[in-house]
Amino acid sequence: MQPLPRQFFLQDTITVSRALLGKHLVREINGQRLVCRITETEAYIAASDKACHAYNYKRTPRTESMFALGGTAYIYLIYGMYTCLNLVTEPEGEPCAVLIRSAEPVEGGDLIARNRFGCNMADMTAYQKKNFLNGPGKLCKGLSITRQENGLDLTAGRALYITEGDLVDRIQVGKRIGIDYAEEARDFLWRFWI
């Protein structure tokens, strides 16, 4: 399966956020292929969004990769111990991105389970199954995504990329999570899930 092309990521951020639902996120590491289906996303848009790290085009070492053109990975450390994966959107110089909040395994499930819990999928408890990849930090842990992948080109078809997945028809919309500090932006309906 081919990686989605540059053009996909250069679209409007909300459009990309919705379009990413059902797509497959592919992680290649140590010659292994880990694939999961994206089920929840959030949009972050520099120009209008106080919750965006690059709000008002604020450029810092951390936000640098958000300024790259669409199709770049923006990965940062949160709360001192977890990483979050974002896919940069829009043309170069527009620091916008989509946070991948949750997913479900499609291929390489045992390897993902080992990254998460140190056991195969069949040995996971009911609680672990329910909390497998349903959060941005959990997803990165399961797919072995770290800040080393920050700035990576998602269209090159190596290490990390997106492919066509499943068609999706009932998209849910709501407020974003964990950004109560962001004044009016906390009420933007920029979270999408299946």
Partner DNA sequence: TTCAGGATGTACT
Partner DNA sequence: GTACATCCTGAAC
Q: Which residues bind DNA (CB under 7 A)?
A: 42, 44, 51-54, 58, 60-63, 66, 74, 77-82, 84, 86, 97, 99, 116, 131, 135-139, 141, 176-179, 181
Q: Please, what is the minimum distance in Å from the beta carbon of residue 175 to DNA?
A: 12
Distance (Å, whole) CA 178 – CA 42:
11
**CB-based contact 70:98 (threshold 8 Å):** no
Give the residue among 37, 33, 49, 141 at the shortest CA–CA distance from 95.
Answer: 49
Nearer to DNA, 19 or 96 (CB): 96
Q: Please, what is the minimum distance in Å from the beta carbon of residue 31 to DNA?
A: 26
Q: Please, what is the minimum distance in Å from the beta carbon of residue 1 to DNA?
A: 26
Q: Within 10 A of 148 (CB to CB), how many other CB atoms are there? A: 11
Nearer to DNA, 4 or 85 (CB): 85
Distance (Å, whole) CA 106 – CA 132:
13
Nearer to DNA, 36 or 179 (CB): 179
Q: Please, what is the minimum distance in Å from the beta carbon of residue 104 to DNA?
A: 14
